[in-house]
Amino acid sequence: MTSVSFFPETKQWTCIILYLPLITVHVCALENLALNKTVWEDRPWGDATVGWRGDKAVDGLYTNRSANGGQCVIPENGRRTATWRVDLGGVVSISHIDIYYRTGNKDPPAFTGRMAGFFLYVSNTTSREDGHLCFHEIQTVNTTPSADQKINCSVYGRYVFYYNERLPNVMYPSYYSKFAFYELCELEAYGSANFQPCYSGALFVKCNATLHTCTCCSQVGVYGLDCNKPCPANCQEWRCDVNTGHCLGCRSGYQGLTCGQVCNRGFFGDGCSRSCGNCRNKQTCHHINGSCINGCDEGLKGWNCTTKCDPGFYGKHCINNCSENCNVTGSCDRFFGACEGGCKPGWTGKACKQIPAESEESQTGAIVGGIFAVIVVILIAVAVVILYKRLKPRISRQQTDGNKRTDSPNIRMKDKRITDNVITEQQQPDQRNEDSEFYTELQVSNEANQYDVLKNCLK
């Protein structure tokens, strides 16, 4: 049995390492690595003389947690985001972080609504986006969260971030404050600047602040006294508390102590902190990537339905063109295509795709009249052709008969005149008159025959 000795008051970790199957035990002392370190804040109060500067959160004092106590940092009011950061001086091993928030010295605390929903990050750079999300406060009951927070955050890093937000167009619980704050009376980051990483590349450390002991599991994704229990599947990077198995952060789209719950309706992403877009029929988005599974509402497009239609387009997915009959070309309502500048002459309706009733009737009448006239002309032409074909044989036959009747009297006339000349050339006047009457009657007969021909043609 190896004896163990340590000096809990020193800032140097004094450790004796005990090797066991699957685990390595470090017996060490913990210290507040944030004490009197350099801080940064993005919303400092304008008047520095009131004593609300950012370094009040690392001065070791938090017995008077009111605005006038001089022991708390208070930022500028009316902001949508608020960030406070402490530089631990280098990459260190962090065990846990304790937070003491402003209470106004009241019970229950007066400002939990301002603390609600905060994020705690540890990073090796001055950007929280590059770091590890240790904790995101999500409560569902008023008067929570607690003003005193003790958060397991077993990671390596240099900067600790306290961040909160009240973004526009996001529905927050009723007890949340309107604006974002970081009213910290103290933030303590416990760990060691000289801590040796766990063997075999393990990333999980279990430390007991009272016993001054830390336990490293030599496998990734396990926890428990014997390091033989798998961390929950949705833990970020499979990191979980080696004692409780609670996730040290969740994969995108999940929440809860063991990250077994998907994001609440309307939220997605890391820490379930991002709001869904305008999904069709108010449906929620995909809890991991925020995409709208069934498309967007009218007038919007994009993977998360937050981009408006381009000019000249409208409707679902913005694929419909504005009517060419709009008075202002390409100018229509992006939702349903209503022409914003009215319609061109001769068109009506919201989308300018309808013809006015009177114009439509007039146009219809003109079309019908034109069609009727064409039909009449065609019928007349057909009738003339049919009539011509029927009358042509009859006209030819009657012309032939008429010619025959006209020629017979002439022949007889010539014969008679020859005979008369042979007999005698002397004729009585009354005989010449008879011949004249004969010619006259012959001419009348010819005219009558022509009339009969025409009359028969018209039958």
Q: pLDDT by residue (tens digit) across 122-136?
A: 998 999 998 899 999
Q: Contact 90/194 with Cβ under 8 angstroms?
A: no
238 & 316 share domain = no
In eight-state DSSP terms, residue 332 is: B
Are 324 and 199 within one domain?
no
DSSP state of 393: H
- Judged by average pLDDT, the poorest of 81-85, 165-169, 384-388 is 384-388
Q: How confident is the model at residue 431 (pLDDT cuts 50, 70, 90)?
A: very low
Question: Does this model's pTM top 0.75?
Answer: no
450 is a domain residue: no
Do 330 and 201 share a structural domain? no
Clarify whether residues 207 and 343 are in a common domain.
no
pLDDT value at position 292?
Answer: 87
User: How far is Cα 128 from Cα 119, in angstroms, rounded to an integer?
Assistant: 10
CATH of the domain at 189: 2.60.120.260
Residues 220 and 349 in one domain: no
pLDDT greater than 50 at residue 200: no
Are 338 and 197 within one domain? no
pLDDT of amino acid 48:
73
State the Cα–Cα distance between residues 331 and 339, nearest whole angstrom: 6
Query: ω into residue 108 within 30 of 0, thus cis?
Result: yes
**8 A C-beta contact, residue 15 and residue 28:** yes
**Contact between residue 160 and residue 189 where contact means Cβ atoms under 8 Å apart:** yes
Number of structural domains (the chain) is 2
155 and 224 share one domain: yes
Q: Peptide bond before 145: cis, by omega within 30 degrees of 0?
A: yes
Residues 213 and 342 in one domain: no
In a domain, 413, yes or no: no
| Higher pLDDT among residues 326 and 457, named by residue | 326
- Residue for token pair 């000795």: 5
Report pLDDT digits (tens) over 335-371. 989 998 889 888 888 888 888 765 555 566 667 777 8
Would the pLDDT of 182 be above 60? Answer: yes
Q: Is 240 within a domain?
A: yes
**pLDDT (0 to 100) of residue 277:** 87
* Range among 21-25, 76-80, 235-239, 380-384 rated most confident: 76-80
The range of the structural domain enclosing residue 161 comes to 16-255
- 322 and 235 in one domain? no
The residue among 255, 289, 324 that closes a domain is 255
* 244 and 327 housed in the same domain: no
Where among 330, 354, 378 does a domain terminate? 354
Q: Is residue 427 part of a domain?
A: no
Domain membership of residue 285 (yes or no) is: no
14-17 CB contacts, 8 Å cutoff, 24+ apart: 15/196
In a domain, 39, yes or no: yes
| Nearest residue to 414 via CA among 442, 377, 375 | 442
Give residue for tokens 């990734």.
220
Dihedral Cα 278, 279, 283, 288, nearest 10 deg: -100
Query: Domain ends where: 354, 377, 406?
Result: 354
161 occurs within a structural domain: yes
409's tokens? 């009297």
Secondary structure of 25-45 as H, E, C letters = EEECCCEECCCCCEEEECCEC
